[in-house]
Amino acid sequence: MQSGFATKRVIIGSDGFKKVVDIASPNKIGLPNGHIDSTLLADVSPGGSFEVNGAVYHVLTCDMFDYVMYYLKRRTQIVYPKEGAYILMRLDVSPGKRVGEAGTGSGAFTVCLSRAVGPEGRVYTYEQREEFHKLAEKNIRGFSEFDNVVMRNKSITEGIEERDLDAFFLDVREPWEVMAEVRKALKPAGHLGILVPTANQVSETMSSLNQNGFYISEVVEIMMRKYKLVPERLRPEDLMIGHTGYLIFARKLGE
């Protein structure tokens, strides 16, 4: 199975220019000071460079971070790599595991899950709205490196079909409405991760977890502070992301 990563490249220019492009489909690629044919780009080996009107551009292979941040088509708020990476760690996702997700959204995190469970694992992802389901399907089919994602175009309020899942990730507006369903789908001591944007939702979700036989292991925010890339004048960037969401992690108690 050929992943979409193989035919994507990152173009790096001066002043922080960065663009992810497809070298498989012939088209003109816009640059700050001109353009280049995608077919010419295919001849530049990764790490190499090309010149357009006197300006040098570097070409890199496209990684998961580049894909999610700069290429993936999105019509929803997505799970960003800074949260996504930590969620993978806290849900103990690893090769061979079976994990669930709702909602799929644009599929950004689904692709990360697919990679982390590897060829022997399975990802079951639920999305109620057909338009998001279809967009995510395109994103996932185009980039998953393993044929391990099962997509369901339905809300988990109608039930989760799987049982004994190792982990579940919830990114829905009212997690408390589906807590009992999620509990049924998880194996004993299974991992649950939840992302909500507001403090009020955190409180309500925590209460629901306590009532539904979960052990809450952590509630956390992740803040990233990026620095300007000038070694002799090292300083954080003027603006930073102040908030994406609160993360709640829990384990299923009881049988």
How many C-beta atoms surround the C-beta of residue 217 within 10 A? 13
Per-residue contact track with a copy of itself, 46 to 85, x per CB under 8 A? xxxx--------xxxx-xxx---------------xx-xx
Enclosing H/E stretch for 41: helix 38-41
Our measurement of the distance from residue 245's CA atom to the centroid of its chain's CA atoms, rounded to an integer in Å, reads 14
* 108/85 Cα distance (integer angstroms): 12
Residue 8 binds to a copy of itself (criterion: CB under 8 A): no
- CB 23, CB 9: distance < 8 Å: yes
- Binding range to a copy of itself, per CB under 8 A, among 29-37, 133-141, 155-163, 231-239: 231-239
Those residues with Cβ within 8 angstroms of residue 134's Cβ, 6 or more apart along the chain or in another chain? none
Q: CB of residue 158 vs a copy of itself: minimum separation in angstroms? A: 26
Taking the CA atoms of residue 207, residue 211, residue 217 and residue 218 in that order, the dihedral angle to the nearest 10 degrees is -10
Question: Is 171 a known ligand-binding residue?
Answer: yes
Question: CA 156: distance to chain centroid?
Answer: 20
Secondary structure of residue 167 in the 3-state scheme: strand
Residue window 166-205: x/- pattern of binding to a copy of itself, with contact defined by CB under 8 A: ----------------------xx-x-----xxxx-xxx-
Which of 90, 121, 81, 112 is closest to 194 using CA atoms?
90
Binding status of residue 33 toward a copy of itself by CB under 8 A? no
Reduce the DSSP state of residue 97 to 3 states and report it.
coil
Confirm or reject binding of residue 89 to a copy of itself (CB under 8 A). yes
Q: Does 44 interact with a copy of itself (rule: CB under 8 A)?
A: no
The nearest distance, CB 164 to a copy of itself, in angstroms, is 12
Residue type for 191, please? H
Which residues within the stretch 117-176 sit at the binding site for a copy of itself (CB under 8 A)? 118-119, 145-146
Comparison of 91 and 152: residue with beta carbon closer to a copy of itself = 91
Which of 80, 88, 81, 178 is closest to 128 using CA atoms?
A: 178
Output the CA–CA distances (angstroms, integers) from residue 200 to 24, 43, 134, 207, in the order listed: 47, 53, 31, 11
238 labeled binding residue = no
Q: Evaluate whether 52 touches 36 at the Cβ level (below 8 Å).
A: yes
Residues of this chain, 232-251, that bind a copy of itself according to CB under 8 A: 232-244, 246, 251
Among 19-27, 112-120, 123-131, 136-144, the segment contacting a copy of itself (CB under 8 A): 112-120
CB of 28 to a copy of itself, least distance (A): 24
Q: Which of 52, 153, 174, 215 binds a copy of itself (CB under 8 A)?
A: 215
Shortest Cβ distance from residue 134 to a copy of itself (Å)?
26
Stretch that binds a copy of itself, among 23-31, 33-41, 92-100, 101-109 (CB under 8 A): 92-100
User: Binding site: residue ranges?
Assistant: 127, 171
Annotated binding site for S-adenosyl-L-methionine: 127, 171
